[in-house]
């Protein structure tokens, strides 16, 4: 147990630091009264039981874990609109505090399960008592509709231990399509929604000044 804790401590630090940084972007947008492309940010270090499961599923020896499991540290940015994903990706690409080593676009090219999300693998430097350590971090960027679908599908995968029955799979495919259509519809009324959000923000600011 202690060995796991030692191994995962820098990963926890990377997740904590990146949560602060990414939430900082959201805060800056909010203060500037521009539409924020970030609705919320979450992060986690993969639980030990999931690490062991994934390693055995993929035949990864435990001494190759850090090099081969890219999502020991995971961050998720959830957006309102599909267009916000590109804005966030550009923001991430422009940063100097980490290196991007891979990008996988499951938004334009959904997975066979119906999963949609934009993944970026970062090489993030963490300062440890033994010096700098570069940590692989998986950043998932997705809309609220994509997140809703992925969360439900993830629970069902867990329930059926990865063997989702065919009829449930079909329902999931249909709901993935519905989530996609919801994103498309929201894009069409995006300007209307953004106007409404601006009015609400201005009202809240006026309220605070009173």
Q: Which residues are catalytic?
A: 138
CB contact at 8 A, 73 and 15 = yes
Residue closer to ligand 0O2, measured from CB, 70 or 201: 70
Give residues 107-146 in contact with ligand 0O2 (rule: CB under 6 A). Answer: 111, 113, 115, 119
Which one among 95, 154, 171, 203 touches ligand 0O2, defined by CB under 6 A?
154
Of 2-10, 148-156, 170-178, 194-202: span binding ligand 0O2 (CB under 6 A): 148-156
Residue closer to ligand 0O2, measured from CB, 54 or 194: 54
CB contact at 8 A, 95 and 65 = no
Count, residues near ligand 0O2 per rule CB under 6 A: 12
Question: DSSP assignment of 153-183, as one string?
Answer: HHHHHHHTTT---HHHHHHHHHHHHHHHHHH
Neighbours of 210 (CB within 10 A): 4
Give residues 31-50 in contact with ligand 0O2 (rule: CB under 6 A). Answer: 46, 50
Residue closer to ligand 0O2, measured from CB, 50 or 187: 50
45-68 burial by CB neighbour count: b if 16+ within 10 A, else e?
bbeeeebeebbeeeeeeeeeebee
Chain centroid, CA 24 distance in Å = 16
Q: Enumerate binding residues for ligand 0O2 (CB under 6 A).
A: 46, 50, 54, 71, 104, 111, 113, 115, 119, 150, 153-154
């Amino acid at each position: 147990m202690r060995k796991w804790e030692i191994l995962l401590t820098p990963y926890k630090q990377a997740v904590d630091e990146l949560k602060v940084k990414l939430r900082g972007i959201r805060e800056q947008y909010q203060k500037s009264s521009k539409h924020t492309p970030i609705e919320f940010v979450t992060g986690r270090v993969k639980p030990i039981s999931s690490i062991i499961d994934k390693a055995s599923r993929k035949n990864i020896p435990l001494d190759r874990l850090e090099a081969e499991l890219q999502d020991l540290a995971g961050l998720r940015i959830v957006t309102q609109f599909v267009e916000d994903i590109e804005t966030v990706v550009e923001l991430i690409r422009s940063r100097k505090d980490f290196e991007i080593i891979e990008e996988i676009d499951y938004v334009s090219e959904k997975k066979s399960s119906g999963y949609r999300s934009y993944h970026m693998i970062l090489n993030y430097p963490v300062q440890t008592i033994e010096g700098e350590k570069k940590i692989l971090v998986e950043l998932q960027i997705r809309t609220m509709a994509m997140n809703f679908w992925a969360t439900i599908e993830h629970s069902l995968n867990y329930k059926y231990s990865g063997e989702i029955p065919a009829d449930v799979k079909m329902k999931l495919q249909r709901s993935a399509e519905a989530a996609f259509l919801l994103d498309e519809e929201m894009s069409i009324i995006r300007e209307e929604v953004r106007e409404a959000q601006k009015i609400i923000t201005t009202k809240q600011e006026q309220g605070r000044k009173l």
